[in-house]
Chains A and B, each alone.
Chain A
Amino acid sequence: MSSRRNRARQSGSSRITDEQINDLVSKLQSVLPEAGIRRNDRASAAKVLQETCNYIRSLHREVDDLSERLSKLLEESSSDQAAIIRSLLM
C-alpha cells in the first residue's frame, strides 16, 4: 500500500488520496460476482484486484467457448433459420 502512496506523491498535479482509491476499489468490487468476496466486510484492495483478474480471465474463456458453440450452431442450422434472422435484421 505504501508504494501507491509514494506513486501518488510523485504524480504531482493529480493528488490521488487513499480514500479515492478505496472508493474506486469498492466500485470495482460492486461489479464482481458476490461469490468471490463477502460483501459485509470491506475486502482489501489486493483481494479485489485478484478477484477482478480471475473474473476477467474467466469471462474471456467464456467468450471463446461461446464463440465456438455459436459457430457450430450457425453451421448446423438450416438455411431457413438464417433467412429468418436476416429478414429480422433488414
Chain B
Amino acid sequence: MYRRSFKDTKSSLGSPNPNFSKPMVALRFLRALSLVRCSGPGARSPSYRARGIRRAAYACMAASAGPRRAWSRALLRKIRRRPGRGLRRPRAVIRRRRPVGGGDPLEVALRRLVPGGGCMEYCRLLEEAADYVKCLAMQVRLMQTIVDSASHVNSID
C-alpha cells in the first residue's frame, strides 16, 4: 500500500501541473464539445446531449489534473466505465483498506462528494478535497465563460 509522508503531501499541494493551465483546459473542453456536437445533432434528445457535455466536462477536468491526483483517477475510472456492460471486476484493482470510524457525518458526506474519497486517509481526503474544489471551481468558471460568449455571439446574429 502506498503511504505518503506529510512532507510529500505539502510539496504536492504547491507543485504546478503543466497540463493544468486554464487555456489548456479550455482547449481540451472545446475539443470535447465539438465532438459532442458532431455525433448526430438531430438524432439525440437534448437531455442526452446535456449528459454528454457534463461527462465531457468532468473528463476534461480530470484529464487536465493529471494522474497524480486520486480524485482525477477515480473520476476517469467512473466515466470510462460504460454502463450496460454488466458487473465486472478488473483484475488489477487494489482495494485500499477502509479507514476506521464513519462516526463523523461531515467526513462521511465529504467522502461521498469527492471522487475516490471512500478509501482515503483523513489527511489525504482533506488534501484531495482542496484540489478537487479548486479544479471544479475553475471548470465552472470556464463553462460560464463559454456560455456567456456563445450566447453573446448568438444575440449578435
Seen from chain A, the residues whose Cβ lies within 8 Å of a Cβ on chain B are 3-4, 6-7, 10-11, 13-14, 16, 20-21, 24-25, 27-28, 30-32, 46, 49-50, 52-53, 55-57, 59-60, 62-64, 66-78, 81-82, 85-86, 88-89
A28 neighbours in B (Cβ, 8 Å): 126, 129-130, 133
Seen from chain B, the residues whose Cβ lies within 8 Å of a Cβ on chain A are 3, 5-6, 9, 13, 27, 30-31, 33-34, 36-37, 41, 46, 49-54, 57-58, 99-101, 103-104, 106-107, 109-110, 113-114, 121-123, 126-127, 129-130, 132-134, 136-137, 139-140, 143-144, 146-147, 150-151, 153-154, 157
CA distance A27 to B13 in the complex (A): 9
A53 near B110: Cβ-Cβ < 8 Å: yes
A25 near B33: Cβ-Cβ < 8 Å: no
Main secondary structure, interface of A, reads helix
